[in-house]
Amino acid sequence: MANKRQVEILNRGVKIWNQWRKNSQKREKTNLKDKETLPETTEIDLTDANLSEKNLSRINLVGADLSGANLSGVNFSKAKLTRTNLCNTNLSNTNLSQANLSQANLSQANLSQANLSQANLSQANLSQANLIEAILIETNLENIDLTGGNLYLANLTKSNLAQGNLSRVNLRLAKLIKAHLVEANLSYANLIKTNCTQANFYRANFYGVTTFQTNFQGANLTGISRDDWEIDTQNNFNDLICEYFYLRDKLENNSILDNQEFFWINQDLDSKYTGIFRAQQELFSTHPIIKYNYLRFLINFNVSIVNSLQSPK
């Protein structure tokens, strides 16, 4: 349960709360022994508190425990929420724009329709969080854990998701326009009808990704690992950037096809296969399974649409 005294102070307003925290730290500092260091925060217990619709802009809640709290509709803009425990909290329709939530625990939190634009969520835990229709424009999500999160219809335009864990995340109909997903883990993610225009997926993990009518126009897929990615011909790969990609389950020793190995796909391999992508004939002749999968990958990039592909014999 929440600390009643702390809730009472918080109800008096952000200015009084922040001053109280500042004074509390000063008192703690005077009681420290030599060589002891001051904890970064006074222990704040606001678990299960009902703070809905409050204006808490610029509040200092660093390291506070708000797990299970009702924070729906709260104005947290520019708030200090570093390392805050927001596990299983109701943050629907909250304004968290420009807030600092780095290393915060937001696992299983409800952030539906929340505004997180330009917020800092680096290294935060949002596993199994509900971010349906959330706004994350220009948000820092570097090294984030979004495992199993639901971002249906979320707007992540120009967000930074580099090295983030997006395994099994639902990004159906979401916007990843110009998003930065370098070395992100997208294994088994749902990218159906996702707008990935000009997104940077350099060396991202696409293992088992689901795509259908996904817009990859102008996106960078160089260096991705595409094991078990069934590519649909209705995806948009116009102006795609892809110098090489990994076929970890098809090539020995995790070797790659680099840009030196993109040669013309000779029609004598199969008269059906035409296009401007190029692949090494020697590799195809010695690896018939690779030939099939690689050609399927290239041709479905809409360089030229092929109606059917024959499985390798």
DSSP letter at 109 equals -
Instruction: Between 41 and 246, name the one with better pLDDT.
Output: 246
Quick one: tokens of 167? 């395994």
Instruction: Between 125 and 240, name the one with better pLDDT.
Output: 125
Instruction: Between 257 and 297, name the one with better pLDDT.
Output: 297
| Whole-number pLDDT of residue 27 | 59
| Whole-number pLDDT of residue 239 | 85
Residue 139 in this model has a pLDDT that exceeds 50: yes
The amino acid that residue 284 corresponds to is F
| Whole-number pLDDT of residue 30 | 52
Interval 61-88 mean pLDDT: 96
| Whole-number pLDDT of residue 251 | 38
Residue 243 in this model has a pLDDT that exceeds 80: no
Residue 195 in this model has a pLDDT that exceeds 50: yes
| Whole-number pLDDT of residue 21 | 87
Q: Highest mean pLDDT range out of 41-55, 108-122, 249-263, 268-282?
A: 108-122
Dump the DSSP string for 27-96.
Answer: HHHHTPPTT----SS---B-TT-B-TT-B-TT-B-TT-B-TT-B-TT-B-TT-B-TT-B-TT-B-TT-B-
- The answer to whether residues 184 and 164 touch, using CB atoms and an 8 Å cutoff, is yes
Interval 162-176 mean pLDDT: 98
Interval 24-46 mean pLDDT: 58
Q: What stretch of H or E contains 257? A: strand 256-257
Q: For the CA atoms of 154, 158, 163, 166, what is the dihedral angle to 10 degrees? A: 10
Confidence band for 126, pLDDT divided at 50, 70 and 90 = very high
